[in-house]
Amino acid sequence: MSIISWILLAILACLLSYKIIRNKKREHAYQILVNRVKGLRLNKMLQFIGADRDEFLRVIPEPDIDQLIERCSYCGTIDTCDSYMRDGHRVESMSFCPNYKSLTEHSKVIYYHRRH
């Protein structure tokens, strides 16, 4: 093999290693995000509105998810939220939820993502 072939092979190996490391970092960051959401009512709310949590977390921008998590964490309507989900109320009547508007808007993004 010529030196050029060795150099190209080394560059290819570096690029492949970089891609593997980047994917591992992304997956690790995603798992941290999943764990943050799992402990919140936001996780239950996603199930309640029929949104797949994993798809939601992969499609919606992380800053938006951070806002949803923050609102859910400091929500003052926890009892009402639990009652609505437990009793199976219609999602449209959940305007008390600080994340209601964002969740319904993001549901459209998820729907669009599924179609394309």
Q: What is the pLDDT of residue 49?
A: 79
Whole-number Å distance between alpha carbons of 109 and 116: 11
Q: Which residue has the higher pLDDT, 5 or 23?
A: 5
Is the pTM above the cut of 0.75? no
Whole-number Å distance between alpha carbons of 88 and 115: 28
Q: What are phi and psi of 98, to 5 degrees?
A: -65, -15
Whole-number Å distance between alpha carbons of 93 and 61: 26
Confidence band for 116, pLDDT divided at 50, 70 and 90: very low
Q: What is the pLDDT of residue 21?
A: 79
Average pLDDT value for residue range 46-50: 82
The pLDDT tens digits of the residues spanning 75-88 come to 888 888 888 888 87
